[in-house]
């Protein structure tokens, strides 16, 4: 009988990285229960593929996992770029750095990142570019996906760490 321990290391790494990309809970449970696997986020493949959806949904939680987010950023993980962008833009008031990270997430195919990037472009006066991005997202993914992004964005804006400027509020109301 083939066990996980008897598989070649590259095959185990592939399995664990696929799990990390689909379910952060299953990944962490696997790492906790199977210490012999030793494929933590310090492994490039794991950090690159790691699904950070809990942090995407609540970026303020990322402050507790700064080392994890930083390691994922080093591997160009698009969830990590989105989370870092949200924190920089809204919490640290570093709009240029925040927009840069959100743009990277958007270019990497991060749906929520694409939506937020479009909204932020509209909020800073680049309305035409922002509308193009939102319209393309609607065409590519369906209106229901964009509506979900809007709800998720509004939900994340309710977090106490976000200090919204009046322009963000008025842009959101116009949508």
The residues near 146 (Cβ < 8 Å, ≥ 6 apart) are 115, 134, 137, 138
Check: CB of residue 13 under 8 Å from CB of residue 45.
Answer: yes
Let me know how many helices (H) and strands (E) the chain has, helices first: 11, 0
Tokens for 107? Answer: 């270019």
Cα–Cα distances in Å, from 100 out to 1, 64, 76, 145?
Answer: 50, 22, 13, 23
Task: Record the pTM.
Answer: 0.77
pLDDT tens for the chain, 175 residues long, are: 667 677 777 777 787 777 777 777 777 777 666 666 667 778 888 889 888 988 888 888 888 889 989 999 999 999 999 999 999 998 888 999 999 999 999 999 999 999 999 999 999 999 999 999 999 999 999 899 889 988 888 777 665 444 455 555 556 555 5
Both structure tokens of 122: 């509209």
Q: Is the CB of residue 82 less than 8 Å from the CB of residue 53?
A: no
Q: CA 1, CA 4: separation in Å to the nearest integer?
A: 10
């Amino acid at each position: 009988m083939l066990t996980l321990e008897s598989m070649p290391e590259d095959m185990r790494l592939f399995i664990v990285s696929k799990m990390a990309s689909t379910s952060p809970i299953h990944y962490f449970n696997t790492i906790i229960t199977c210490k012999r696997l030793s494929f933590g986020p310090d492994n490039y493949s794991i950090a690159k593929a790691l699904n950070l959806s809990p942090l995407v949904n609540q970026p303020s939680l990322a402050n507790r996992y700064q080392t994890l987010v930083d390691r994922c950023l080093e591997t160009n993980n698009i969830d990590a770029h989105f989370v870092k962008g949200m924190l920089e833009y809204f919490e640290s008031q570093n709009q240029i750095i925040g927009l840069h990270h959100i743009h990277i997430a958007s270019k990497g195919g991060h749906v929520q990142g694409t939506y937020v990037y479009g909204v932020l472009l509209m909020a800073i006066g680049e309305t035409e570019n922002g509308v193009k991005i939102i319209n393309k997202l609607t065409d590519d993914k369906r209106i229901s996906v964009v509506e979900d992004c809007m709800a998720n964005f509004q939900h994340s804006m309710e977090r106490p760490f976000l200090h919204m400027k009046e322009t963000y509020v008025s842009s959101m109301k116009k949508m």
